[in-house]
Amino acid sequence: MTDQALLLPQEEKQFSLAKDAFIRLVANRLAVVGMVLVVFLFFVAIFGPYLTPYDFLSQDLLARNKPPSWEHWFGTDDLGRDILSRVIYGSRTAVIVGFSTVSFSLVIGLFLGALGGYFGGKVDAFIVWLIDITMSIPSLLLVIVINVSLKPPLVNWMDAQFVATGNEFYRNTIWVDFVLVFGSLALIKWPKAARIIRGQILSIRNKNYVVAAEALGVPTSKIVRRYVIPNAIGPIIVYISAALGEAMVLESSFSFLGVGVRPPIPSWGNMISDGLRIWQLYPHVLAAPAAVLAVVTIAFSFLGDGLNDALNPRQWK
């Protein structure tokens, strides 16, 4: 046996797991559709102010409820505002809410879940109890309660501060919606992430391949990096994708019900709510935000499915 014969054949390239997964993801057509749409959504959300043909607030009362045309691609609403511009700004609202909710819930969830899974025993029992309690809180009810109990006093206090000090900081109360409503959403959405990471760590810690690596004398830091994290990360990435979509839909639902982002800040939810009042006469007012919301939801679920398959080598053919 010569050394030459042992060399790896040239045509067989070594790919990392991430690259392998990406190749698999791209091979899945629906996932690519989802990915393109999601990337497009983020692009629109980030560069929104440069893309909107009109100011999303400017009203043209002579051109109310106009159907789609070259001047207004998605038409105008009942105050003569350009619907395309409002949909674009609505995507900003959705993405901000989606990201803040998911990242907050992820940070809390990962921390508590990993803590429970790693230490076990009483710590774990307490965290599981906390998860159960939190999951029993209905999110809609919580958001409504916060809306009626915490938000008005805070907004009033800020108004008073503005009058008293003249500080511009207190003038804009819109971000209070974001922080209060969706901060509270994050506070009750973390259990799902916590449960995922806890289960992952619990099962992987006792897996035979971790023991096998220990038997080879692989150091702990390397075991965590090469064995525990790759095996745990798949479900987390899938969770992020699914949770982003879910959070955006939740934001729309709350705004639709009037407990989310307040007009005139556009959200797909409050636009759908507006359109619903006049849809028999002007269906385009409802159609645009509803269609965008539907497409975004489907895109995230395609992407999530594709990621799930791509990140799991056991499902590869």
* Residue 215 is a binding residue for other proteins (CB under 8 A): yes
* Residue 122 is a binding residue for other proteins (CB under 8 A): no
Identify which of residues 133 and 211 has a Cβ nearer to other proteins in the complex.
211
Residue type at 195 in one-letter notation: R
Identify which of residues 5 and 281 has a Cβ nearer to other proteins in the complex.
5
Burial status of residue 209 (CB atoms within 10 A of its CB: 0-12, 13-18, 19 or more): exposed
* Residue 119 is a binding residue for other proteins (CB under 8 A): no
* Residue 7 is a binding residue for other proteins (CB under 8 A): yes
* Residue 222 is a binding residue for other proteins (CB under 8 A): yes
Alpha carbon dihedral 38, 44, 46, 49, in 10-degree steps, equals -170
* 14-73 residues near other proteins, rule: CB under 8 A: 14, 17
Q: Three-state DSSP class for 159? A: helix
Identify which of residues 131 and 310 has a Cβ nearer to other proteins in the complex.
310
User: Helices (H) and strands (E) in the chain — how many of each?
Assistant: 14, 0
Identify which of residues 61 and 215 has a Cβ nearer to other proteins in the complex.
215
DSSP 8-state symbol, 136: T
* Residue 9 is a binding residue for other proteins (CB under 8 A): yes
Supply angle C-alpha 137, 143, 148, rounded to 5.
125
CA dist 128 and 126 (Å) reads: 5
Bridge partners (DSSP) listed for residue 82: 76
Stretch that binds other proteins, among 2-10, 30-38, 166-174, 301-309 (CB under 8 A): 2-10
Tell me the residue ranges of DSSP E strands in 124-279: none
Residue with tokens 């109890």: 129
Which of residues 136, 217, 221, 281 is near other proteins by CB under 8 A? 217
Taking the complex as a whole, the smallest distance from the CB of residue 69 to other proteins amounts, in Å, to 53
Identify which of residues 178 and 227 has a Cβ nearer to other proteins in the complex.
227
For other proteins, the binding residues (CB under 8 A) are 1, 3, 6-9, 12, 14, 17, 207-209, 211-219, 222, 226-227, 230-231, 313-314, 316
